Each structure stands twice: as C-alpha cells, then as structure tokens.
Amino acid sequence: MTFTASNGLMVERHEDDRIVVFEGSAIPVMRTYKASVHVDALREFFQHEKDEHLGRWRSSADPRWTAVRRDKFAYFQCEDGIRSFNIHLDREATLNAWNDDLRAIAREYIAAHPEPKPWHDAKPGEVWLLNIDHKNAANEVAWQVATSTEFSRLGLAINKRDERITAARRIWPEVS
C-alpha cells in the first residue's frame, strides 16, 4: 500500500511489514524518523490505514471529520464525539440543512465518491454509443470496448472512466 501524506512524503508498506518513506523521488529516505515531517507522515499513514480498515472516509480539508456510507446516506462524525450530521446522497436539498462548513465537508465527500456509471462495467467486445462532452444525442458515436479499461474506435481510444463521457448506452449485444 502506498500513501501520500499532506506534507508530500510518500509512505509505503511492503508485504514484509517494512515501511519506507520517499521524499520527492523514488529513492527512499534513509534516516531515522526523528524529524517531525517524517513522524507526521507516518502518523497520517497509520490513521489512513485505520480509516481504510474501518471503511471510513476522512476529510482532507478538516481531518477531524470522518464519514461512512450506509445505503443512500452518508453519516459524518467529528472526532470531538459531539458533532455529527448526515445527508441523503440522492437529495441535494439535504445539504441545505447544514451550515457552510458542514456543506463543504459533505461536498468534499460527494466529490471523492462519484456514483459509478453503467459504462464503467462495459465488457470487451460490447459496443456502446458514447456521448462525449455533453453533445446532443444526434452526435452519439459507436465505440467498441477494446479492453477492460478502454473503448476504441477507428484507431482512437478513450478510458471508460474519462470524465468527458457524459452519457452512454450499450447497443450490442442488445440489452435484454
């Protein structure tokens, strides 16, 4: 697992439980971890590891706030143990119940967890009509799924998760 701390240092845990810290290049830092920047990077790494294990997200804007998703809700908790709030992920209006700071944290969560699109699961060999950059339906063009990650057409390729794809529908094999 590799983790980038907020101070730019990269922390990597190897299968043999070694932890290596990289400072701006692929060459590991070879010194003791007494410097506060290394200690801070390691502290954040272990916090990140714990968050992953518990299935929670942590705000980078305000790391005191964490969130977990349950069905269509996101539940937020401040580490002070007192403040909390929740939002319904399909209803933008639920954000309006909270102050600007909490809305910003909720929007950060939503941006970090985009809903998967149907074409993200397209299988090699299928053919999809893609709408790229919000063009109208008359401009949809057929693309074949070439690999597990790309559509291709006439020698061109586009990643299935490319944000320019704004809509898509499978045309072959026909959807039953």
Domain around 50 = 2-54
Model confidence at 120: pLDDT above 70: yes
Q: What is the 3-state secondary structure (H, E, C) of 7-24?
A: CCCEEEECCCCCEEEECC
What is the per-residue pLDDT for 156?
Answer: 92
Q: Looking at the structure, tell me whether residues 46 and 65 fall in a common domain.
A: no
Q: Which residues contact 5 (CB under 8 A, 6 or more apart)?
A: 11, 40, 41, 44, 45
What is the per-residue pLDDT for 31?
Answer: 45
**Average pLDDT score over residue span 94-104:** 93
Q: Looking at the structure, tell me whether residues 38 and 72 fall in a common domain.
A: no
Model confidence at 26: pLDDT above 80: no
Q: Looking at the structure, tell me whether residues 143 and 167 fall in a common domain.
A: yes
What is the per-residue pLDDT for 138?
Answer: 67
Q: Looking at the structure, tell me whether residues 148 and 101 fall in a common domain.
A: no
Q: Looking at the structure, tell me whether residues 103 and 127 fall in a common domain.
A: no
Provide the whole-model pTM: 0.57
Q: Looking at the structure, tell me whether residues 108 and 139 fall in a common domain.
A: no
Say what percent of the chain tops pLDDT 90. Answer: 51
Q: Looking at the structure, tell me whether residues 161 and 136 fall in a common domain.
A: yes
Model confidence at 36: pLDDT above 90: no
DSSP three-state, residue 82: coil
The more confidently predicted of residues 40 and 88 is 88
Q: Looking at the structure, tell me whether residues 61 and 50 fall in a common domain.
A: no
Q: Looking at the structure, tell me whether residues 64 and 48 fall in a common domain.
A: no
C-alpha angle 51-54-55 in degrees, rounded to nearest 5: 85
Q: Looking at the structure, tell me whether residues 96 and 143 fall in a common domain.
A: no
Q: Which two tokens stand for residue 4?
A: 């980038």
Phi, psi of 163 (to 5 degrees): -70, -15
What is the per-residue pLDDT for 25?
Answer: 64
154: left (phi over 0), alpha (psi -120 to 50) or beta: left
Q: Which two tokens stand for residue 134?
A: 């919000």
**Domain count within the chain:** 3
> What is the Cα–Cα distance from 110 to 94, expressed in whole angstroms?
13
Please give the mean pLDDT across all residues of the chain. 86
Q: Looking at the structure, tell me whether residues 103 and 62 fall in a common domain.
A: yes
From 54, 75, 98, the end of a domain falls on 54
pLDDT band at 137 (very low <50, low <70, confident <90, very high): low
pLDDT band at 10 (very low <50, low <70, confident <90, very high): confident
> Shortest CA distance to 71 belongs to which of 91, 44, 51, 95?
91
Amino acid residing at 104: A
Q: Looking at the structure, tell me whether residues 108 and 122 fall in a common domain.
A: no
| DSSP 8-class letter at 91 | -
